[in-house]
Structure 1
Amino acid sequence: MTLRLPQNISGLSTRTAVDVMAAEIRVEKAISLERTGEAAGKAVAALKAAAPSDPERPRLLAEAAEAVWGYFIQRELMGQGSHAAVIRDMGIPREVIARLGARPKTE
């Protein structure tokens, strides 16, 4: 009589270091995506809280555009190319979308 491991755990012993590393990389990517999403959400909320006449509004707008742009790049790196649902769910203003990727002139 021969014994064999149950089918549901027999593959565990054949896991390679590459598989483990790939799993760790996926976790790190997910954490990074969450962080950039939170930063974008906070920046958009700060912009929305500012009055139109607030002298800090241009800075808040630039910060929101930078944070959202970084979030979109991170999403694209993870294969999530469509941002329409994120724009809608986060309520990202058009003025932010219009400035994605734009850099202020530095001297």
Structure 2
Amino acid sequence: MSVRMPTNFGRSGAQESALDLLGHEILAEKAAALGRAGQRVEETLAKLRGGGEGEHRNLLLKEAAAAVHAYFIQRELCGLRKHDAVIREYDIPRAVLVRLGAS
């Protein structure tokens, strides 16, 4: 014989579906934010590769480092902790990574 919990204990079906919809909405927003952050990384790295000398290059490096840092944080918020594949995929220059504290 199995025992079933009374239906007035725990969540109702309506509460579960509302939480499920909210969870999907949160996941969709996380994914969209990650996509926007990745696009910003691509744009700043393209500007950096486009060239520049002296002070202009330093500004481009600073901008690219800020974009990569924001992207890494967004990835970690999504539960993606390892960045090695992303570094290779985006071909992030060592000068940018050094500004983030990588050695």
Aligned positions, number: 89
Superposition map of 1:18-97 within 5 A: 18-51=19-52, 53=53, 55-97=55-97
Aligned to 2:9: none
CA distance in 2, matches of 1:91, 1:31: 22
Task: Provide the TM-score with structure 1 as the length reference.
Answer: 0.76
Which residues of structure 1 form unaligned runs of 5+?
1-12, 102-107
RMSD value, Cα? 1.9
The Cα of 1:95 is off from its aligned counterpart by 0.5
In terms of fraction of residues, the more helix-rich structure is: 2
CA distance in 1, matches of 2:31, 2:67: 17
The Cα of 1:29 is off from its aligned counterpart by 0.4
Aligned to 1:4: none
Task: Provide the TM-score with structure 2 as the length reference.
Answer: 0.79
Identical-pair percentage? 45
CA distance in 1, matches of 2:74, 2:87: 15
The Cα of 1:55 is off from its aligned counterpart by 3.8
Q: Runs in 1 of length 4+ with deviation above 3 angstroms?
A: none
SS of equivalent to 2:82:
coil
